[in-house]
A and B are shown apart, each in its own frame.
Chain A
């Protein structure tokens, strides 16, 4: 049996050949089957049809797989159901698995953060010593950056992009599946190595010489190199796959100029990861050779030595921040559009803003190296580029705000997360501008100010943007809306938690509290305790999200084809399709 999303009427229409082919930008004749595709294609009005009579009526993501033959036993049916997911080449299923794998690492990374915050709750040794702290710190940063934030939007992209551009699948469906496996297994070997006592302690940036054999003996650092290498290899190939899909597999009805904003977001993100990914792969390869075969790439006895690692590492890892955030820009544009009833003020401006962020994002890696003795010319270049990259980001934010100004805002959970994104990301951008001033950076570089900036961008930006996208697309994909009350609890607790955790870090940074250290001056004990409480509030909020997911998947009531229409009906807002955000626009 399959889960139901189809109907007899639609099957008859399909069988009779009455597949509706509408013109782009026209209203699509909705049918129950293929909710996700239908909703995603509202702005294109194409590629939608009812399901054939006599064939299985699939759920959107095919929770239950193929029809069962009479001769098949229970085990065969189970095997087919498992196989349909584990060995899938379908972009939507792969995307769902990808998101699930990324979220798994998000929760592992979050667990590590809780251990760290518990240690930092009071000065002195609380639950762990310095080496254990460095281990958890490394695990937290590695999981959150490489295995969650960089790749999670590619999961959403896999599920959404092919249909937004009228493609049947990714250009390379098997490569898409392989990328998923590389990321999942890469993270797993790091986690297993850690559990078996092989802890990397050089941090997620793994600067030499700390990451070389002399300071990081044992195999933990080697496991880290291979785990991150597998993830980066998978992400780079995924970027290439998205490029090929978007540039070559689009429907002829979807010219480049008509692509929805979320697709542009994935496109720019893919360009970044494909250009920058090999840098980190190269650096990881060199580091492994230095540790195991006596080469001299990063040896501290040489020049540039360790600085070469920083060049290569940051040439990838700074653009990686934009790989995380630019797709969020795209999906947020869709959410803001849908729940404000107004299209983005200037689609062209937003797309150009994202392009500017991507372009200048490639040129700012030196601002991570202000304290390494850069020449004044290089330092000035980094400062100028960092200021420049703030401009297109600001343009995007202002476009959103201007769009909201005359809209009828509907405070659904995804909209709340989207608004939270705007606020938190703006705070993160503003405190980042401080760091772009070279003299201030020299003072604050190794302090908690950087932690505050980074987490406002990543948690306040990427994570809130991700939740906005999940809350928005989940009912479209699964036909069941996540609980709004639980969602709103999730949002408010998250916002309170992250602000309680990260805002006081500005103060600690200005006071000079060093980062990456498990101990600190007793005078900062109260503030640190407050931050730890904030971290646990944030964790409780994420548990609410998990509970929301579980309850909705098990007990959720199937809704309409496009569940968000109910919300719009409640406020009496008619909608018409918009070609650029994958949503509908108030008439």
Chain B
């Protein structure tokens, strides 16, 4: 039977960092839409907010979060996130080449590229490795996660460089647009998500706090699901139209 405190609005420490991070958003829009120098202001504000936010979040205050059965849930969430990464990696083998076949027959000769295969193997290994590292010692897990994410991106980058050398470039029509931007956004998201998991795992190991970490893992897992659906829909739609060639 746990006791919780009465609600006291002032018991939660004020924090200006979300406001500063939010303030960077209009500058980001301003820079993107009208006046590029504003991008520097936006990124500056984001950097300041990120540093302050991380410092805020690592104070012992966070230990007040309720913890219950989190170790099991955390492990489950990591396995779930890893399995979603597997699915993403499989997509990178099949869907990309399917797209290329359908939309750009000139480079469709190799259905399974060695680099996408390597990239997939790395991601398959990453899930198991991060989970194992967490069981062995929490501090190792974040490093393993980041290393595998970087390896995944490097191999994917080599694959993309090969495509570019063949002349498959982003401005070559809708196929190029879709392929490069989706892959780029996906790569950014994987890197960002893995980094977030790494930070939270490090935080968990350092402070012995698990409640928010499991929440972070769940949050990431949900957003990964969403991205997978985005990919599936876009590819299915493009393939349905047999190639979105210029008509």
Contact = CB atoms under 8 A, between A and B. Distances in A.
B interface secondary structure, majority: helix
A383 interface: no
Interface string A289-312: 100001111010111110110011
A320 interface: no
Nearest to B173: A296
B109 interface: no
A49 B5 CA distance: 7
Given A247-B218, A251-B66, A46 B8 contact: no
B218 A244 contact: yes
A111 interface: no
Interface string B17-50: 1110111011011101110000000000000000
B158 interface: no
Nearest to A225: B33
Contacts of B246: 301-302
Nearest to A303: B241
Interface stretch (A275-283, A399-407, A569-577): A275-283
Q: How large is the interface on B (under 10, 10 to 19, 20 to 34, 35 or more residues)?
A: 35 or more
Contacts of B212: 171-172
Interface stretch (A176-184, A209-217, A352-360, A424-432): A176-184
Interface in B208-233: 211-212, 214-216, 218-219, 222-223, 225-227, 229-230, 233
B57 A174 contact: yes
B230 A163 contact: no
A100 B70 CA distance: 36
A226 interface: yes
A36 B8 CA distance: 11
A308 B234 contact: yes
A270 to B, nearest CB: 9
B51 interface: no
Interface string A77-91: 000000110111110
B178 A297 contact: yes
A285 interface: yes
A230 interface: yes
B75 to A, nearest CB: 14
Contacts of A136: none
A469 B177 CA distance: 46
A93 B70 CA distance: 28
B66 A92 contact: no
Contacts of A230: 25, 29
Contacts of B14: 83-84, 87-89
A311 B247 contact: no
Contact of B226 (A89, A90, A274, A308): A274
A279 B229 contact: yes
B9 A172 contact: no
Contact of B9 (A84, A247, A274, A307): A84
Nearest to B218: A244
Interface string A224-236: 0011001000001
A45 B20 CA distance: 39
A303 to B, nearest CB: 4
A230 B32 CA distance: 13
Contacts of B229: 275, 278-279
A165 to B, nearest CB: 11
A89 B174 contact: no
B33 A219 contact: yes
A408 B232 CA distance: 52
Nearest to A60: B7
B10 interface: yes
A295 B177 CA distance: 6
A182 B18 CA distance: 9
Contact of A223 (B25, B29, B233): B29
B3 interface: yes
B170 interface: yes
Nearest to B14: A87
A367 to B, nearest CB: 16
Contacts of B28: 226
Contact of B222 (A21, A223, A274): A274
B12 A173 contact: yes
Interface residues of A, number: 94
A278 B6 contact: no
Contacts of B241: 303-304
Contact of B68 (A48, A50, A173, A252): A252
Given A87-B14, A282-B230, A189 B244 contact: no
Interface string B59-93: 00000111010100100000000000000000000
Contact of B18 (A178, A226, A289): A178
A251 B10 contact: no
A308 to B, nearest CB: 6
- Name the residue among B15, B219, B234 with the largest chain A CB count within 10 angstroms: B219
Contacts of A4: none
Contacts of A245: 215
B166 interface: no
Contacts of B234: 282, 308, 312
Nearest to A288: B32
A35 B178 CA distance: 53
Given A223-B29, A302-B244, A47 B19 contact: no
Contacts of A219: 33-34
Given A58-B10, A188-B26, A296 B177 contact: yes
A498 B29 CA distance: 36
B245 interface: yes
A557 interface: no
A45 to B, nearest CB: 12
A274 B223 CA distance: 7
Contact of B2 (A86, A174, A252): A252
A293 B2 CA distance: 57
Contacts of A184: 22
B230 A244 contact: no
Contact of A168 (B4, B26, B33, B247): B4
B121 to A, nearest CB: 27
A222 B29 CA distance: 9
Contact of A89 (B12, B177, B223): B12
Given A88-B14, A251-B2, A304 B223 contact: no
B238 interface: yes
Interface in B179-232: 181, 185, 211-212, 214-216, 218-219, 222-223, 225-227, 229-230
Contacts of A178: 18, 21-22
23 contacts: A49-B6, A58-B9, A62-B8, A66-B10, A84-B10, A87-B19, A171-B65, A172-B216, A174-B57, A178-B22, A181-B23, A182-B22, A185-B25, A223-B33, A226-B33, A241-B219, A243-B222, A244-B216, A248-B215, A274-B222, A277-B226, A295-B171, A303-B247
Closest 4 CB pairs of A and B: A181-B22, A62-B9, A244-B215, A226-B29
Given A60-B9, A226-B32, 6 more contacts: A172-B216, A175-B18, A177-B15, A177-B19, A223-B33, A244-B218
